[in-house]
């Protein structure tokens, strides 16, 4: 290989990676509409707001190769429920307002925490 070709290949390699980095979508949860922002700001500590979350982690469906369709579906549903319960439990622990350990006292009493969560606009992955 000739020496002058290495520089051209390296330049092309760097340009491809730069374009991938520039064109890649940002890693954020998404944007929040003004209506949702108003609802979140006006919600009290006891108000429940239904949300839909989509997670990146997926269940590998190639492991379900049973000939019986009923067995395959049962195994798939069990795997999906197991994955969802793990994600849901971690989210409930993160966003629980009434049943988490107080940062000041260190005890879990079930009473409302004296240190509520910050406004949603301060969360790192949500853009208003």
Domain that holds residue 38: 3-103+110-127
99 with 110: CB under 8 angstroms?
Answer: yes
Which of 106, 88, 108 lies closest to 97, judged by CA?
A: 108
Q: Which residues pair with 126 in a beta bridge?
A: 30
| Phi-psi domain of 110 (left: phi exceeds 0; alpha: psi -120 through 50; beta: other) | left
Q: The whole model's pTM is what?
A: 0.34
Mean pLDDT for the stretch of residues 116-125: 52
Q: CA triplet 10, 15, 17: central angle to 5 degrees?
A: 95
pLDDT band at 4 (very low <50, low <70, confident <90, very high): low
What per-residue confidence (pLDDT) applies to 105?
42
Q: Give the number of domains in the chain.
A: 1
């Amino acid at each position: 290989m000739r020496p002058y070709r290495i520089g051209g290949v390296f330049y092309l390699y760097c340009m491809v990676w730069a374009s991938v980095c520039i064109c890649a979508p940002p890693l954020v949860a998404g944007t929040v509409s003004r209506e949702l922002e108003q609802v979140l700001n006006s919600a009290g500590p006891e108000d429940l707001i239904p949300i839909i979350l989509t997670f990146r982690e997926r269940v590998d469906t190639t492991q379900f190769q049973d000939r019986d369709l009923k067995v395959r579906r049962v195994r798939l549903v069990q795997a999906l429920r197991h994955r969802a319960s793990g994600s849901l439990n971690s989210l409930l622990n993160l966003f629980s307002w009434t049943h988490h350990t107080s940062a000041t006292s260190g005890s879990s009493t079930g009473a409302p925490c004296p240190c509520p969560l910050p406004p949603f606009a301060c969360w790192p992955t949500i853009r208003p």
